[in-house]
Amino acid sequence: MTTVWWVRRDARLADNPALLAAQEDGPAAAVFVWNRGVHLWSGRRRAHLARVLWSLKEDIGGALGVRRGEAADAVLAIAREHDARVVVAAREGSPAGIGAQDAVASALAADGRELRLVGTPYAVAPGRVRKSDGSEYRVFTPFSHAWREHGWPSPAAHADPEAFVPVESDVDLDERAAHADAEDPLTARHEFREERVREAWEGYVDGPLARYAEERDRPDLDSTSHLSVPLAYGQIHPRTVLAATAAMPGEGPRKLEAELAWRDFHADVLFRHPRAQRESLTTVLPDDSWTTGRDADQAFMAWRDGRTGFPLVDAGMRELAATGTMHNRVRMVVASFLVKDLHLPWQRGADHFRRALLDYDHAQNQLNWQWVAGTGRDAAPFFRIFNPAAQASRYDPERRYIERWVAEVDTPAYPAPMVDHAAERAAALADHKRARAGA
């Protein structure tokens, strides 16, 4: 009997419980739904997705079907075409992910079929880490202790690449992937084949991971794992990563585990508080403190285009535009600058990141923006305002990162700072004080 595997953020054969479940009673029919949401992504992100799917398709002998439309219609159509009573998929915890899986479940149930949710893209499923009274952890450190204690299953077996039935597609991946290569050679540096992602991770374990704790904040050094892109598309499961780090002594592996705990923490917060995707969880500024109108648009465009006159901010925004990623330390600096120096709402920055980031992950993006803005669960206190010049001296001491992205930084062509950081910092703190007095 054929079972449908609805591919979501889990385009891989290794350690994939949903896929293993779909292959339990015979070959699976694999389908990815290229829905309307994908059309809102940047061309670069869509192209990377096309390459990831192209690679998965190749790995399973061309059997993957990629269908246009909404998940409920497309998955039901495949289930009917293949006479499948059961569809298996990984469980999502974001509002859109839950919406899609509920819609698919209802469409299938109305047709006498069933959706089974098996596994998640996280080490521990959102909502599972709780205090003894069942309530949520509001602070990261106790969450991370409970997360470690909860533990996670060992990586599951490798799926059978031959146990698939061919599914017809109406999206041409060859064309989309090839188009992307020609158009955007810089992003071709991101690995899109599952096997190479794993090899890159193994190389990282044998090399830079040992230096990760000391160097992870340095954008001028290439010491971070670059796992965020494959994690976002599910070409590697965090459990696979944690199984490798668990066997290693030292600060580097412990620090990387802590970062994966942050990933699960943010997913947990979004799962428990769906409104956090758009609304601040805590109010830290009065409504009248934001820059508005034309000034806001001009400030936003200077930030977006890397023309603020603050070299570290501009380097980060240009790295994002050129590659679709940005170093974590620099993400914090540019986000703080948008909210606390330009007085623009975090949602505006988060929307830009959504369009531009290759590693876009709804929970990580929205909740990291809230962390920097001081509005999230266990966020940085509002008064922690990054000083872009001090951050640059500390984390890019020889200005190698800045010079890589802002070649004209020491020439008259480079703009003067668009604001006075000290004055904007004081204004933000005064606004915050007003909000607290009114609270």
Tell me: is residue 221 an annotated ligand-binding position.
no
| b/e 308-336 (16+ beta carbons within 10 angstroms → b) | bebbbbbbbbbbbbebbbbbebbbbbbbb
Alpha helices in 216-292 (DSSP H): 228-233, 238-246, 251-272
Kindly give, in sequence order, each residue whose CB lies less than 8 Å from that of residue 110, ignoring residues fewer than 6 positions away: none
The DSSP call for residue 112 is T
- In this chain, which stretch among 27-35, 159-167, 258-266, 294-302 interacts with ligand FAD, using CB under 6 A? 258-266
Asked if residue 265 lies in contact with residue 357, where contact means CB atoms within 8 angstroms, the answer is no
Task: Determine the Cα–Cα distance for residues 211 and 204; give it in Å rounded to an integer.
Answer: 10
259 sits near ligand FAD (criterion: CB under 6 A) = yes
- Which residue, 27 or 252, has its beta carbon nearer to ligand FAD? 252
147 sits near ligand FAD (criterion: CB under 6 A) = no
361 sits near ligand FAD (criterion: CB under 6 A) = yes
Interacting residue with ligand FAD among 23, 42, 365, 391 (CB under 6 A): 365
Interacting residue with ligand FAD among 32, 271, 310, 369 (CB under 6 A): 369
Q: How many residues bind ligand FAD (CB under 6 A)?
A: 29
Tell me: is residue 410 an annotated ligand-binding position.
no
- Which residue, 195 or 259, has its beta carbon nearer to ligand FAD? 259
Task: Determine the Cα–Cα distance for residues 102 and 108; give it in Å rounded to an integer.
Answer: 10
335 sits near ligand FAD (criterion: CB under 6 A) = yes
Distances (CA, A) of 426 to 282, 305, 383: 21, 25, 10
Kindly give, in sequence order, each residue whose CB lies less than 8 Å from that of residue 247, ignoring residues fewer than 6 positions away: none
Task: Determine the Cα–Cα distance for residues 234 and 388; give it in Å rounded to an integer.
Answer: 34
- Which residue, 68 or 404, has its beta carbon nearer to ligand FAD? 404
212-251 residues in contact with ligand FAD (CB under 6 A) are 216, 224-228, 231-232
Tell me: is residue 359 an annotated ligand-binding position.
yes
- In this chain, which stretch among 187-195, 245-253, 366-374, 412-420 interacts with ligand FAD, using CB under 6 A? 366-374
Q: Look at residues 335, 369, 360, 352 and name the one whose alpha carbon lies nearest to residue 301.
A: 352
Q: How far is the CB of 206 from ligand FAD (least distance, A)?
A: 15
- In this chain, which stretch among 42-50, 88-96, 271-279, 325-333 interacts with ligand FAD, using CB under 6 A? 325-333
Interacting residue with ligand FAD among 34, 137, 262, 386 (CB under 6 A): 262
332 sits near ligand FAD (criterion: CB under 6 A) = yes
Distances (CA, A) of 38 to 41, 50, 228, 423: 5, 11, 19, 41
Q: How far is the CB of 258 from ligand FAD (least distance, A)?
A: 9
Tell me: is residue 432 an annotated ligand-binding position.
no
- Which residue, 66 or 356, has its beta carbon nearer to ligand FAD? 356
- Give how far the C-alpha of residue 205 lies from the chain's centroid of Cα atoms, to the nearest Å: 21
Kindly give, in sequence order, each residue whose CB lies less than 8 Å from that of residue 219, ignoring residues fewer than 6 positions away: 315, 316, 327, 329, 330, 395, 396, 401
Q: How far is the CB of 162 from ligand FAD (least distance, A)?
A: 31
- Which residue, 51 or 218, has its beta carbon nearer to ligand FAD? 218
Tell me: is residue 227 an annotated ligand-binding position.
yes
- Which residue, 59 or 361, has its beta carbon nearer to ligand FAD? 361
- Tell how strand 65-68 and strand 86-89 pair up: unpaired
Q: Tokens for 235, please give them.
A: 């070409």
140 sits near ligand FAD (criterion: CB under 6 A) = no
Tell me: is residue 395 an annotated ligand-binding position.
no
| b/e 72-111 (16+ beta carbons within 10 angstroms → b) | bbbbbbbbebbebebbbbbbbbbbebeebbebbbebbeee
Task: Determine the Cα–Cα distance for residues 77 and 79; give it in Å rounded to an integer.
Answer: 5
Interacting residues toward ligand FAD by CB under 6 A: 216, 224-228, 231-232, 256, 259-260, 262-263, 266, 327-328, 331-332, 335, 353, 357, 359-361, 364-365, 368-369, 372
Bind-site residues: 212, 224-228, 359-361
Annotated binding-site ranges for FAD:
212, 224-228, 359-361
